[in-house]
Structure 1
Amino acid sequence: MKSALLKVDDGRLMRAAFLGLLAAAGVFLFVDLREMSQASADLPGHDPMRTGAPVLPPALTDGVPQVPPVEPETPSEVLSQPMRFELLSGGVLKAEGSIDVGAAERFAEEIAARGEYVKVVSLNSPGGSVDDALSMSTLIREKGLNTKVATKALCASSCPLVLAGGTAREAEAEAIIGVHQIFSAGQDRPTPEQAMSGAQATTARIARHLEMMGIASGLWLNALETPPDRLYYLTPEEMSEFNLITGAATQADQASTTVSPD
């Protein structure tokens, strides 16, 4: 009886600690938003509220690793285009490009038309619309599809939310997966207060979604700590630790595989 009570208390403490971190992140985010809004006036054309720009931001200054593992194989001008879908052999549906507003609707139409052939969704995206990413992720899980990021493909910003929807999730060797703070913004620039409120609501939605997908909270904590103009590149070990990647074909497994001499 006593051990059961201790387990309940531990669970409550861990949840309280996590919620406390989210609240603290909101406070610092509010300060960051004020600073970014002021800085943007000196950078014509720069919009700190826009996700996925540039296509491959520099690594988080204090993060590990310091640089992306490799350069993406796909040119940035291709990745910056609205997401498009291509059915490949073996039941692989390739989803490539930015997750623009409306991508989830086009994805749903693609699944409705070719769902019986699709087994795996292969992602190559710098991210984009959070709402569309969450909708795509939810549909992937509902349909029991798998997800993967191929060698030298990119899955950044909101794209890992889509990856999380897979029943089984794979990252091939040298796949590039990164997270950072994600903002929702309309056509008009929100005030810092509005941005903070929106960011907190979005954070809650994402945290709840990742929990439902079976992803450890540490993944999103790394995102909260990383400014939107930087990326926290996930190591193979972290992908496995956070349960973002499942099964035997993880990057860590591939990297540790050696060929024994005859």
Structure 2
Amino acid sequence: MFSERLDTSRITIQRSLKWVLVAQAVLAALLVLSHLQAQWPPGAGGNDALPSGPTTPGDQVRHYDPSRSFPDFMRTPAPSTVKIPGDMPPRLQFEVIDRGELGEAIFLKGRISSGDAERFMSFLASLEEAPKVVSLHSPGGNVSEAFEIGRSLRAAELDTTMLPGLVCLSSCPYIFAAGVNRSASKDAAVGMHQHYYDTPGYMPVFLAVEEIQYGQGETMEYLIEMGIDPGLMVHSLNTPPKEIYILVEDELLGTRLATEILD
């Protein structure tokens, strides 16, 4: 039985890697085309016709605006027990919140910036008795910091949750992935897109592609470490940085990014 589970897992990872490699080839081609973008007329290559409003299966791509705390694709406002600022904080803020019958949780809100992982570990160490659940509300940000926060969260054996009306976008799902148990409300939004790589314009294309592939390798390694199907990356690799792909329930559960969907 154990051997069968290993074989099934191996097949799933092999299938996922196949699609990830295909997506990487497409990404490399797009990178070459980006060098020609300055010669295109204004607006060429963009998608200004994206719909707004709540997403449905098959209609899951929206504009990405990291400054907005409540994007227009959200259906439900955050619960009254959670104080959401009008604009996203420029870096992560940490606090302990009372969720009523659900008990206390550590609440992370804001963009993920350089130094936030160290600040989070200091915050955890300062708590006399830390809650066992981490709730998230973030548009993402620095990927390496998200990995560090996630690994410290997993080492502390904490769970993660997405409450109604809250978002976890871009690199934030890597923190969500680190929970031992990972629950998401049907009225929360978990979304992904391509990592943004600020490569110099003078860098040869082959070196830029090499840097991107190295970053994607690190991401795959992290997801596998957390027990997540690396095929999740297909959704991010297929979505440009200025757009966001909102995962539906079947995708959250099928990739094991979420272990439970809450009403």
Normalising by the residue count of structure 2, what TM-score does the alignment of the two structures yield?
Answer: 0.74
Match of 2:93 in 1: 84
Of 235-244 and 35-44, more deviation after overlay is shown by: 35-44
**Partner of 1:148: helix, strand, or coil?**
strand
Instruction: Return the offset for 1:132.
Output: 0.5
Aligned sequence identity (%): 29
Which of 17, 20, 29 is 1:19 aligned to? Answer: 17
- Higher helix fraction: Structure 1 or Structure 2? 1
In structure 2, the CA distance between the partners of 1:85 and 1:26, relative to structure 1 (3 Å rule), is: same
Letter in 2 for 1:70: R
Distance 2:217 2:15 in 1: 15
Which of 214, 236, 261 is 1:201 aligned to? Answer: 214
**Partner of 2:180: helix, strand, or coil?**
coil
Distance 1:238 1:177 in 2: 10
Equivalent pair of 2:228/2:255 in contact (CA under 8 Å):
yes
Q: In the comparison of the two structures, how many residue pairs are matched?
A: 231
Equivalent pair of 1:207/1:217 in contact (CA under 8 Å):
yes
**Partner of 1:101: helix, strand, or coil?**
coil
Instruction: Return the offset for 1:185.
Output: 3.3
In structure 2, the CA distance between the partners of 1:11 and 1:107, relative to structure 1 (3 Å rule), is: closer
Instruction: Return the offset for 1:17.
Output: 4.2
Query: Which whole-Å deviations, capped at 9, do the CAs of 1:115-173 have from their partners, x for residues lacking one?
Result: 63231111100001110001111111110001111111110011000000001111123
Matches within 5 A, 1:70-219: 70=75, 74=84, 78-79=87-88, 81-89=90-98, 90-114=103-127, 116-185=129-198, 188=200, 191=203, 192-219=205-232
Q: Which runs of 5+ in 1 are unaligned?
A: 49-56, 255-262
RMSD: 3.3
Equivalent pair of 1:149/1:172 in contact (CA under 8 Å):
yes
Equivalent pair of 1:160/1:179 in contact (CA under 8 Å):
yes
Letter in 2 for 1:175: A
In structure 2, the CA distance between the partners of 1:175 and 1:12, relative to structure 1 (3 Å rule), is: closer
- Higher strand fraction: Structure 1 or Structure 2? 2
Instruction: Return the offset for 1:234.
Output: 0.7
**Partner of 2:130: helix, strand, or coil?**
coil
Distance 2:26 2:113 in 1: 28
Say if 2:28 is the partner of 1:30: yes
Match of 1:235 in 2: 248
In structure 2, the CA distance between the partners of 1:41 and 1:98, relative to structure 1 (3 Å rule), is: farther
Q: Which runs of 5+ in 2 are unaligned?
A: 63-72, 79-83
Distance 2:132 2:202 in 1: 40
Distance 1:100 1:232 in 2: 22
Equivalent pair of 1:92/1:122 in contact (CA under 8 Å):
yes
Letter in 2 for 1:233: I
